[in-house]
């Protein structure tokens, strides 16, 4: 309270000073300038979207979505990349969802917000969210492929070369799971905070234990938030390229991934390879724009669903 | 008896349940520690392994080297030449140049839009601005890189008449697009969470809305705006795909902002696939990864601490 009073006094002094010495400025110029900033941002987003849409919409067809690449990526479709992306993010969600949800429950239901443990975990979550994605790629290579995969190979000493100690879809998915952990935790926490206290109190008053309350009251109530979290995580995971470059993504594969230790094709990585390493960029262009459009539509649709669920949740919270 | 048995069982279950949940809660902490350990473990041979130290040492990465006898010492990054050269300076310069342009571009736009959204915009306008920024944040960085590589680069070259199509300016602007949402979100959040009592105090003294913003909201939210800029800078330093695709990837020592650059992150992405597992080049790339990790860790930590302090201050908690 003391600090706040201090700000208020200092602030009030400043206000009186400004009011005494400056002519009354209505803020028209700052209003105009900041509005310009908003308009520039919206215009840039529109330019990006329009260019990609116009460039790619002609390529989009059922054929394009359902066929493998042909003639060194200059013809055919992107089906293996779509399949690989979907398989990758599904594995990732299976790994990240339980851990993320339980972390959020622990932070919201078991600890006080200002306890040392909570602070430590919160700092870890925030920092995890800020680790550069390429560092996740290095980590996946050093930890999952070198340490875990290599370790499994050593224990089961396979003579036919590495089985698990090599780039594979499971290692890429686990690397992405760590990268998206903060996303899941943060949206689940937001959902947990919207649950009215009365519901929990009612459960305890009826003799429910903490675990029962979590299972029967809190988890069902938090479902929309958990769902939002997983969609946002999927959208983030589907767009990341740097973490999977060394941990499992392949330039071109004639088959779809069947086992957890297979490599896979992925939309984002496909875009990167086609855009930077194509021998004839003009010939690849239509397919390249089409692929970008597919990835963009995928992430935007996922985000749109997440935004809609979240705004409905916020309205519910406002009504309580 | 049965009731007692039931109670004991349920107590055990409660205990195990809580322990299981709390173990999961440490996952983020364990994750960040594992990243720390494994990135550093792979970089460590640069200090300990004699064979690798014959080829590269930290000293040789930092200072000018006489790579060929009799020639002028210089900075050079050419890990694959006959005489492997591992100067980090060209990469450092490239990283900083891209980040500076990104910040020059994104700070005015991000903070400006945050000010408009929190101080001037009506409710309906805000409901347009926020989803637009969220959409910008949702664009995968590989798509922004693609946009800069295929379209922005051509546009800039035609407008300014540049010699190099892919350069620091091109990469920096695309990077700025990725940084704007971070700055906007943090700064907007800080300005909207300034308590109403502060605003009321200024209004009571006869200030108009803009004077309220100027004298009350901005000073109180300043640390939050600064934190947004700091966190945005962390992203600009660590972002990979955009600079990998849009910067030209030439490790040149020059002060020019329209020449190609090569950043730390793009170097790892471009070279790691081709190196010998455990060799000198591999170790150097992990060393660069460690630098990136430590740097972004410190930046994020300071950004978070600023925000935590601000939150306590604005909520009037002083303990």
Provide the 3-class DSSP secondary structure of residue B248: strand
Please judge whether B296 and A240 are an interchain contact, meaning their C-beta atoms are less than 8 angstroms apart. no
> Looking at chain B from residue 58 to 97, which residues have their Cβ under 8 Å from any Cβ of chain A?
none
pLDDT over 70 percentage in chain A: 89
The structure tokens 């949702």 sit at: B138
- The residue ranking higher by pLDDT, A46 or B28, is A46
User: pTM score, two decimals?
Assistant: 0.89
> Looking at chain A from residue 235 to 274, which residues have their Cβ under 8 Å from any Cβ of chain B?
235, 238-242, 245-246, 268-269, 271-272
What contacts A145, CB < 8 A, 6 or more positions away?
Answer: A165, A166, A167, A168, A171, A246, A247
Chain B contact for A102 (CB, 8 A cutoff): yes
Total residue length of chain A: 320
Q: For residue B277, give the nearest of A135, A263, A143, A146 by alpha carbon.
A: A146
pLDDT of residue A266: 93
Of A12, A18, A102, the CB nearest to B214: A18
The beta-strand segments (E) located in B221-281 are none
- How many beta-carbon contacts under 8 Å exist across A and B? 304
What is the tens place of the pLDDT at every residue in A159-202? 677 888 889 999 999 999 999 999 999 989 988 988 888 888 99
Give the CA radius of gyration of chain A. Answer: 25
Say if CB B245 and CB B148 are below 8 A apart: yes
Q: Report how far residue A295's alpha carbon sits from residue A299's, in angstroms, rounded to the nearest whole number.
A: 6
Q: What share of chain B is helix, strand, coil (3-state, %, to 5)?
A: 75, 5, 20
What is the tens place of the pLDDT at every residue in A76-125? 788 999 999 999 999 999 999 999 999 999 998 888 878 888 888 988 89
Chain A contact for B191 (CB, 8 A cutoff): no
> Looking at chain B from residue 117 to 146, which residues have their Cβ under 8 Å from any Cβ of chain A?
117, 119-121, 129, 131-136, 138-146
Q: Mean per-residue pLDDT for A121-131?
A: 89
Please judge whether B198 and A7 are an interchain contact, meaning their C-beta atoms are less than 8 angstroms apart. yes
Q: Report how far residue B105's alpha carbon sits from residue B119's, in angstroms, rounded to the nearest whole number.
A: 22
Of A34, A52, A142, the CB nearest to B41: A142
Q: Mean per-residue pLDDT for A150-166?
A: 80
pLDDT over 90 percentage in chain A: 41
Chain A contact for B318 (CB, 8 A cutoff): yes
Chain A contact for B6 (CB, 8 A cutoff): no
Q: What are the pLDDT tens digits along chain B (319 aa)?
A: 556 666 677 788 888 888 889 888 888 899 999 999 999 999 998 888 888 777 777 777 777 777 777 777 778 888 877 778 888 899 999 999 999 999 999 999 999 999 999 998 888 988 889 888 988 999 999 999 999 999 999 999 888 888 888 889 999 999 999 999 999 999 999 999 888 888 888 888 888 888 888 888 888 899 999 999 999 999 999 999 999 999 988 888 888 888 899 999 999 999 998 888 888 889 999 999 999 999 999 998 899 888 888 888 877 644 3
The residues facing A264 across adjacent strands are A249
Q: Report how far residue B74's alpha carbon sits from residue B96's, in angstroms, rounded to the nearest whole number.
A: 19
Q: Please give the C-alpha separations between residue B160 and each of B156, B169, B207, in angstroms, as whole numbers.
A: 6, 11, 45
Please judge whether A126 and B300 are an interchain contact, meaning their C-beta atoms are less than 8 angstroms apart. yes
- Predicted ipTM? 0.89
pLDDT of residue A11: 57
Disruptive mutation site among B8, B20, B22, B27 for chain A (greatest number of A CBs within 10 Å): B27
pLDDT of residue A1: 47
Residues of A in Cβ contact (< 8 Å) with B197: 4, 8
Q: For residue A238, give the nearest of A51, A65, A92, A71 by alpha carbon.
A: A92
Say if CB B166 and CB B247 are below 8 A apart: yes
Q: Report how far residue A307's alpha carbon sits from residue B185's, in angstroms, rounded to the nearest whole number.
A: 15
Q: Mean per-residue pLDDT for A219-239?
A: 89
B76 to chain A, closest Cα gap in Å:
23
B4 to chain A, closest Cα gap in Å:
15
Please judge whether B265 and A136 are an interchain contact, meaning their C-beta atoms are less than 8 angstroms apart. no
The residues facing A75 across adjacent strands are A70
The confidence band for A224, taking pLDDT boundaries of 50, 70 and 90, is confident
Tokens of A302: 């996922």
pLDDT of residue A314: 72
Of A99, A141, A299, the CB nearest to B138: A299
Please judge whether A131 and B214 are an interchain contact, meaning their C-beta atoms are less than 8 angstroms apart. no
Chain B contact for A31 (CB, 8 A cutoff): yes
Q: Report how far residue B173's alpha carbon sits from residue A151's, in angstroms, rounded to the nearest whole number.
A: 43
Provide the 3-class DSSP secondary structure of residue A159: coil
pLDDT of residue A22: 55
Chain A contact for B194 (CB, 8 A cutoff): no
Domains in chain A with CATH codes: 51-319 (1.10.3720.10)
Q: For residue B136, give the nearest of B189, B192, B182, B187 by alpha carbon.
A: B182
Residues of B in Cβ contact (< 8 Å) with A181: 27-28, 31
Please judge whether A45 and B120 are an interchain contact, meaning their C-beta atoms are less than 8 angstroms apart. no
Say if CB A199 and CB A212 are below 8 A apart: no
pLDDT of residue B292: 94
pLDDT of residue B5: 66
């Amino acid at each position: 309270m003391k600090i706040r009073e201090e700000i208020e006094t200092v602030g009030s002094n400043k206000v009186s000073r400004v009011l005494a010495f400056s002519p009354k400025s209505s803020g028209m110029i700052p209003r105009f300038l900041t509005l310009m900033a908003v308009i520039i941002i919206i215009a840039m987003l529109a330019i990006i979207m329009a260019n990609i849409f116009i460039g790619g919409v002609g390529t989009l067809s059922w054929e394009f979505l359902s066929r493998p690449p042909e003639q060194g990526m200059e013809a055919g479709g992107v089906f293996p990349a779509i399949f690989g992306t979907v398989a990758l993010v599904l594995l990732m969600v299976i790994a990240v969802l339980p851990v993320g949800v339980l972390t959020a429950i622990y932070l919201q239901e078991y600890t006080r917000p200002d306890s040392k443990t909570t602070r430590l975990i919160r700092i870890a979550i925030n920092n995890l969210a800020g680790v550069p994605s390429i560092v996740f790629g290095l980590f996946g290579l050093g930890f999952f492929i070198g340490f875990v995969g290599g370790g499994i190979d050593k224990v089961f000493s396979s003579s036919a070369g590495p089985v698990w100690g090599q780039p594979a879809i499971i290692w890429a998915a686990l690397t992405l799971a760590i990268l998206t952990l903060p996303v899941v935790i943060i949206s689940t926490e937001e959902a947990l905070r919207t649950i009215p206290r009365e519901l929990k109190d009612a459960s305890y008053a009826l003799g429910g234990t903490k675990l029962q309350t979590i299972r029967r009251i809190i988890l069902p109530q938090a479902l929309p938030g958990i769902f939002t979290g997983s969609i946002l995580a999927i959208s983030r995971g589907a767009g990341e390229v740097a973490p999977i470059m060394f941990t499992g993504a392949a330039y071109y594969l004639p088959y779809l991934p069947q086992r957890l230790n297979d490599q896979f094709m992925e939309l984002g990585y496909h875009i990167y390879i086609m855009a930077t390493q194509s021998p004839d960029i003009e010939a690849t262009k239509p397919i390249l724009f089409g692929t970008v459009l597919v990835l963009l539509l995928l992430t935007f649709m996922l985000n749109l669903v997440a935004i809609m669920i979240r705004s409905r949740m916020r309205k519910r919270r406002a009504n309580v | 008896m049965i009731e007692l048995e039931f109670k004991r069982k349920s107590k055990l279950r409660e205990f195990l349940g809580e322990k299981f949940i709390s173990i999961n809660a440490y996952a983020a902490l364990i994750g960040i520690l594992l990243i720390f350990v494994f990135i550093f473990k792979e970089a460590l041979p640069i200090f300990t392994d004699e064979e690798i130290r014959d080829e590269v040492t930290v000293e040789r990465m930092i200072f000018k080297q006489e790579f060929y006898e009799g020639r002028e010492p210089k900075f050079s990054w050419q890990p694959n030449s006959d005489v492997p050269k591992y100067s980090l300076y060209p990469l450092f310069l490239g990283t900083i140049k891209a980040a500076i342009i990104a910040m020059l571009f994104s700070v005015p736009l991000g903070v400006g839009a945050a000010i408009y959204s929190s101080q001037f915009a009506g409710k309906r306008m805000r409901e347009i601005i926020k989803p637009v920024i969220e959409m910008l944040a949702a664009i995968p960085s590989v798509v922004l890189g693609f946009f800069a590589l295929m379209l922005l680069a051509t546009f800039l070259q035609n407008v300014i008449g540049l010699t190099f199509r892919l350069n620091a300016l091109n990469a920096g602007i695309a990077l700025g697009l990725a940084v704007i949402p971070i700055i906007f979100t943090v700064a907007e959040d800080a300005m909207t969470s300034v308590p109403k009592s502060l605003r009321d105090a200024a209004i009571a003294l006869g200030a108009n809305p803009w004077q309220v913003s100027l004298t009350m909201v901005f000073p109180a939210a300043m640390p939050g705006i600064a934190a947004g800029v700091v966190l945005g800078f962390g992203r600009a330093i660590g972002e990979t795909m955009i600079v990998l695709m849009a910067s030209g990837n030439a490790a040149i020592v020059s002060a020019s902002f329209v020449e190609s650059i090569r950043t730390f992150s793009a170097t790892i992405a471009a070279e790691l696939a081709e190196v010998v597992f455990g060799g000198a080049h591999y170790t150097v790339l992990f060393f660069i990864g460690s630098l990136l990790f430590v740097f972004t860790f410190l930046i994020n930590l300071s950004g978070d601490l600023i925000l935590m302090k601000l939150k306590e201050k604005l909520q009037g908690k002083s303990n």
